[in-house]
Structure 1
């Protein structure tokens, strides 16, 4: 069973992600945090095993995705957890900033449910070695 965290302040996006995940990958436990502060609290309270992957939105209240990314990468306990940025922002400067701060991949939030399902399935079928940060040219995932 994969232990997956999703951090996003948009309730509709969380619901759609959860539904899509359940359709394409039934062996997953999804923990949802609606802001970065809740993510960091959930990580501190998590009894092993830690999440195998974190899907992280950037624009959130209280603690944004950039702050979470930096905090996780500085933590000796959590620094190796793959982090997939999932954001509506496709600005190249933002993508570059997340790459430089150690995100493993970047996904622009898919425009359709079917593409979201394909994207989640693609990410979850990557092996651990493939989840390591790729060269910059392969950093953005686009399965459309």
Structure 2
């Protein structure tokens, strides 16, 4: 699987955050194809198109206009075609409530938006290199919050 390109989607309404994420992904030594979305509605419209190649992992910002990350997460988990997608919550919020709610609603991992480019790169790389089979089979509170 070393030559496989990882399809990644990021939904984030903050243009700077999208740009930083894109730059960080480009510097990571993992072959990726990144699709960027300005809000949850754009992401969901895309994910439900017929015949698209689904991303292996979706990074979701929680606070977005039109449709927020929580709404997307619940739609993804309740959609036959999408329910097995890996979902990483990618948010500035570090509130226990948000973390708990996304965990309960089936997100795979929670990443606090790092405040430096180096940390962002590290966080994305760590998320992409996780052994997801292990991570999804035993969803457990201890490895839910990505710690750097």
Query: Cα deviations across residues 81-100 of structure 1 (Å, max 9, x unaligned)?
Result: 00000000000011000000
Alignment partner, residue 20 of structure 1: 24
Q: For 1:87 and 1:115, how far apart are their aligned partners in 2?
A: 14
Q: Equivalent residue of 1:45, what SS? A: coil
Q: Which segments of 5 or more consecutive residues in structure 1 lack a partner in the other structure?
A: none
Report the equivalent of 1:137.
142
Matched, 1:89 2:93: yes
Aligned structure 1 segments of 4 or more residues deviating by more than 6 angstroms = none
SS at match of 1:60: coil
For 1:73-84, list aligned pairs within 5 A: 73-84=77-88
TM-score, L = length of structure 1: 0.94
- Say if 1:82 and 1:131, in contact at 8 Å, map to a contact too: no
TM-score of the pair, normalised by structure 2: 0.92
The SS at the match of 2:19 is helix
Q: Which runs of 5+ in 2 are unaligned?
A: none
Name the count of aligned residue pairs. Answer: 143
